[in-house]
Every structure is written in structure tokens, then in C-alpha cells.
Structure 1
């Protein structure tokens, strides 16, 4: 199948000022520019399938919440799919999410720029986006591996829907973490 152009629409919300007896407060707005990405839809579909298969390999004896991820790094000339699954531990701080496992495996191979990242939360498929979205730590780790110069296209994050009518919800890091920390 031929590549298609995916347009992530601009998002604009103005700052608001709240006047109170205790002073003025600013409610921060957000400005995210429109982004256009060319991608092969079959590749994106297959990446979501690989993420769902990776979720089946999760080690989740405590939460029973299976998460799988599949990533293609922009700086990998072979365009390999690297997977990860969440691995829990009785010492909860030692638990690692599927998204971070995939990204750490990619980084260990020397890659630093996400092109496409798919994730599947197998136990909440069909639920609302907030029940299928990556956690805050994973969002911040994703931001670390998103190229600041997205002139070649934004890194797409595909969140498995589990819905027969939709393969995935598509977002980018600015929509997932608009005020993420950067040095």
C-alpha cells in the first residue's frame, strides 16, 4: 500500500488570567503546531499487532495488566521493530513498563530517535484513551527519544484501540506531554 499523509491538527488554547484577592494567577494555555507525517498504514497496523503480541509476554503477577510496545527508531537504517513488555517485581520500584523496556532496548543498540512507537494495553482494549495511555514516566522517557527537530516528520505514538473499526489512536509527544521536562 502507498504511504499516506497523517495530519495532526494544531491545538491552540490561550492563557487565561484568574483575578483573586490573593493575586493574579495564569492558567497556562497550549500551542501545538499542525504536524504532517508520511507513513505506510500497513506498517503502522503491523506495528500495533506486534505491540499487542508483546503484551502477551508481560510478567504481571501483581497488577495482571499486560502492556506491550513496539518501536521503530528513525536513526536505525534497517528500520527494525524492537519490542518490550512490562515486567513487574515484588519490589514495585523495580517494575519496568513495556514502553520503557522497548526504548531501553533500542537505546542499548545505539538508537536515539523514535519514528513510530505502538503500545497495547491488552487488558483495557476498548476502553477510553486514558485507560490505554502511557504512564507519566513513560511519557517523559519517550520525550527523551523524540528528535527536537521534527522537520522530517513528527514521531507518531500509536495506542491500540482493540476496536475492529479503528487500528489505533494516533498522537505525538506534544499531545501526550505538552509541558514535558527538557534540558
Structure 2
């Protein structure tokens, strides 16, 4: 993946963040998931007054992709922060999102780009963010 492709993915996550529905926390998150076929699937966080039905941006993107038959991914960019202003800090995915990514991705290969409003990012692998994640591979149930 080139630096330009990574920058584009961060930009798409920033765009997706604009669609966030976060009336309770005012913490708006956008995600852009790059499939191995080159397609980019975006998602935003969607809150709910009951809280537990809330869905994170990362899971929104993954679920959209899987519902369209896409199950192989190369990278995901995530940008989040309070309010409408561009985020000055990175926002990492929650544990549930990390585990959902683990279901469909090779933890050693998936690039996770944690972006900021200035279109810079920090890069990790999923394995770095979830070192002992649970997966079919690790349970021997392939």
C-alpha cells in the first residue's frame, strides 16, 4: 500500500465521519475499509438512546462489506473525535471492533490507520492492537 493510498483512506474516513449520528456522546467517528479487491467501504458511528444498540464506525463498515459479499480486507482507516471540529488526536477502535476485524482479517497483515483531522496517521497491524485475539485459526476450527 502506498502512502498516497493510505492518505486517501484517511480522507475517506474523515468524510464518513460527517455522517455520524452521535447525539449522546458527540464523539463522531468515521471509518474507511479497503477490501482486497480495491473497493472502499465506509462507515460511521450510529448511537442509540438505549446505548447497547449503538454501532461503531468500524463495525458499520465491516457489516456493510460482509452484507455485500466482501470478506477480504487489506486496511482500515479510523478518524474520531468530539464535535464537528477536525480531530487533533487519534482514536483507536474499541475491543469489540478489534474482535470483529479479527473475524475477517489476518491480524498480522491488516493495516489499521488511526488518523487525525490534519490527514496524518499512526499505523498499526491488528495484531499490535489485539495481540491475543480470538479467531478460528487460533482455536483450530478452520
Q: Write the deviation string for residues 111-170 of structure 1: whole angstroms up to 9, x where unpaired.
A: 11220100100338323x5xx11101001011111137x6xxx221100033x4x72100
Unaligned ranges ≥5, structure 1: 1-38
Tell me which moved more, 139-148 or 106-115. 139-148
Greater fraction strand:
1
For structure 2, list consecutive stretches of 5 or more residues without a partner in the other structure. Answer: 137-142
TM-score computed with the length of structure 2 as normaliser: 0.86
* Structure possessing the higher relative contact order (Cα contacts under 8 Å, 6 or more residues apart): 2
Q: 1:54 aligns with which of 16, 19, 35?
A: 16
3-state secondary structure, aligned to 1:181? coil
Q: For residues 143-154 of structure 1, what are the structure 2 equivalents within 5 Å?
A: 143-147=102-106, 154=109
More helix by share: 2
Deviation at 1:108, TM superposition (A): 0.8
Is the partner of 2:43 in helix, strand or coil?
Answer: strand
Please identify the structure whose Cα radius of gyration is greater: 1
Aligned-residue offset at 1:91: 1.4
Residues 96-111 of structure 1: pairs in structure 2 closer than 5 A: 96-111=55-70
What's 1:168 paired with? 121
1:1-183 counterparts in 2 under 5 A? 39-74=1-36, 76=37, 79-123=38-82, 125-127=87-89, 129=90, 132-147=91-106, 154-162=109-117, 164=118, 167-183=120-136
On the 8 A contact 1:58/1:68 being kept in 2, the answer is: yes
Q: Normalising by structure 1, what TM-score?
A: 0.68
Deviations 1:77-131 (A, max 9, x none): xx1111000000111111000000000001111111220100100338323x5xx
Secondary structure (helix, strand or coil) at the match of 1:45 reads helix
Question: How far does the alpha carbon of each residue in 1:34-69 deviate from its partner, in whole angstroms, 9 at most, with x for none?
Answer: xxxxx1211110110110111111000101000000
Aligned length: 133
